[in-house]
A and B are shown apart, each in its own frame.
Chain A
């Protein structure tokens, strides 16, 4: 098993390098002169040249990229053009908010998606199934930022039940989490229903029935573990869309997370900040995918065995 984990981690490294390369390349096309932006309109050409040399901007692209990577490995993502502060520290400072938001919404998405998905499959063609399928369809079609606005309008402004901004207590995260999770909930619900329907038609489920097993145990012991396998992969992928959603939703709920930092940096053309945020979130997503893959191998004996014996 540890061999598999090691192998999986090793696969991550080139991907991480590739991801940084892609983001770095995209960001290097940012138009506009950075030195002028920092020094202001009155800057002399000499001063601008001097600064560009200092920042290494006059070096060829690959040298700049290599430099960036070397610094990145030491936890240094450069300095923000605007605030002059370490990009990495700023991200780390704000990351807990994004993390709470992402995990909160993931929990809701998994709980609601799995539960309704299983129920819809087990009670196929019932009211519950219809409700679950319709809900999934609706959730997949709602733009989450609009849903966030509507919930602020209803629960914060009209009813005064929940706060619409700030991040002091977990209560502040209720509305944002629900807002971010809709798309993922829909995806998990649909997939759980489909795989569950496929699984309960399998021969081994009939074998379990022929043993005299109760329906409850058949669903939760025999079917769920098998049905979960594809769902787990999708949960990992959905985490990515949650992170992306968090970027937008943080601005809806005025949360000071990495997402709003990224947006602010985009508006101000603060390239190191944008690159830093994007690389950081992409890294984080990779870690989640890694965890999911390991979990997958843990549940599916066929994958575990492949690495145990080799």
Chain B
């Protein structure tokens, strides 16, 4: 007690931004669960053939139609005696990749349009925003259905439909993310210091705008999976016999009283993927912007 105790200056360790975000993410148990579950699904896509060969998903065993879950067939059999476990595993390729592809392509196109709008401003901005606002006025499912109606059913057509339909939303999200950053004082400060536009964009705008965009993208993948499976459920997506979660639900609908396992497994898969992505996105948002938490 005899020594002078000066208030310790807070130590600001210069951790990398990524490490800091990761540290905060790890604190959020639920989002880590989400990350793990999603990682499992991704592993499932990659190693699907190692888990169950694709032919099992198509092989029909007449003797085992509607067989309930058992040791040999973990999730039971469907109306043609096909192994539902194998179909769920291989269905993930169609359903999950659809969601990821739709968001990825949509974000790239939307991001380009939003950057053009944000960079050039004025008339370009107005035209892009007017068009995307108008498309935004058409309910999502309706717009998607119209495009599928025009293009005809099929996996790729559904992908095109939901991607185009989602673009206005992404343009909005990304443009507002850019604008909030550009309107900030530290950008002005950068300009005042004589930094070039490119430097400001790379050093300040991009890293700060990327956070909210990644969060949105993560959650959007879940939403897009639900939408794409809805199209398959309506019979407008991938055509049989290829396995797909939504299509499996449509097939199982007629037999759901006698063979509920036919709709439970694919449905739960969609819920699990979407939930894991939502948890992950939520955790990411909190980690990226801790002040939003309370």
Q: Do chains A and B touch in the complex (CB under 8 A)?
A: yes
CB within 8 Å of B: which residues of A?
15, 18-19, 22-23, 26-31, 124, 137-138, 140-146, 149-150, 152-153, 157, 197, 240-241, 243-245, 247-248, 251-252, 262-263, 265-267, 269, 271, 274-275, 278, 281-282, 285-286, 289
**Would B137 and A145 count as touching, CB distance under 8 A?**
no
**Would B142 and A153 count as touching, CB distance under 8 A?**
no
Binds A, one of B6-14, B47-55, B202-210, B274-282: B274-282
Q: Which residues in A have their C-beta under 8 angstroms from that of B260?
A: 153
| Residue B71 CB within 8 A of the other chain | no
**A22 and B139 in contact, given A30-B150, A141-B271 (Cβ under 8 angstroms):** no
Complex Cα spacing A291 to B152, Å: 35
- Please name the 7 residue pairs, one residue from A and one from B, whose CB atoms are nearest each other, closest first: A244-B141, A141-B274, A240-B139, A146-B267, A141-B275, A244-B139, A266-B149
**A274 and B146 in contact, given A149-B267, A247-B141 (Cβ under 8 angstroms):** yes
- A interface, over-half SS: helix
Q: Which residues in A have their C-beta under 8 angstroms from that of B256?
A: 149, 152-153, 157
Q: Which residues in B have their C-beta under 8 angstroms from that of A157?
A: 256-257
Complex Cα spacing A141 to B148, Å: 24
Q: Which residues in A have their C-beta under 8 angstroms from that of B270?
A: 143, 146
Counted as pairs of residues, one from A and one from B, with CB atoms less than 8 Å apart, the total is 139
**Would B137 and A282 count as touching, CB distance under 8 A?**
yes
Q: Which residues in A have their C-beta under 8 angstroms from that of B139?
A: 240-241, 243-244, 281-282, 285
A31 to chain B, nearest CB (A): 6
| Residue B263 CB within 8 A of the other chain | yes
**Would B135 and A248 count as touching, CB distance under 8 A?**
no
**Would B278 and A153 count as touching, CB distance under 8 A?**
no
**Would B278 and A141 count as touching, CB distance under 8 A?**
yes
For chain B residues 139-174, which have a beta carbon within 8 Å of chain A?
A: 139-152
Question: In the complex, which of the residues A29, A138, A282 contacts B275, with contact meaning CB atoms closer than 8 Å?
Answer: A138
**Would A143 and B135 count as touching, CB distance under 8 A?**
no
Apart from the given pairs A143-B226, A243-B141, 17 other A-B contacts in the complex at a CB distance below 8 Å: A19-B134, A22-B138, A26-B147, A26-B150, A28-B150, A140-B274, A143-B274, A145-B249, A157-B256, A240-B139, A241-B141, A244-B144, A247-B145, A248-B230, A266-B148, A278-B138, A285-B137
Complex Cα spacing A244 to B277, Å: 23
**A18 and B134 in contact, given A137-B282, A248-B234, A274-B149 (Cβ under 8 angstroms):** yes
Flag B244-256 by CB within 8 Å of A: 1 or 0 each: 0010010011001
Q: Which residues in B have their C-beta under 8 angstroms from that of A124?
A: 294
| Residue B76 CB within 8 A of the other chain | no
Complex Cα spacing A281 to B279, Å: 33
B31 to chain A, nearest CB (A): 11
Complex Cα spacing A248 to B142, Å: 10
Complex Cα spacing A144 to B238, Å: 19
**A143 and B229 in contact, given A23-B146, A248-B234 (Cβ under 8 angstroms):** yes
**Would A15 and B151 count as touching, CB distance under 8 A?**
no
**Would B146 and A143 count as touching, CB distance under 8 A?**
no
**Would A289 and B275 count as touching, CB distance under 8 A?**
no
**Would A251 and B234 count as touching, CB distance under 8 A?**
yes
B46 to chain A, nearest CB (A): 23
Complex Cα spacing A18 to B137, Å: 10
**Would A278 and B145 count as touching, CB distance under 8 A?**
yes
B161 and chain A: residue at smallest CB distance: A26
B293 and chain A: residue at smallest CB distance: A197
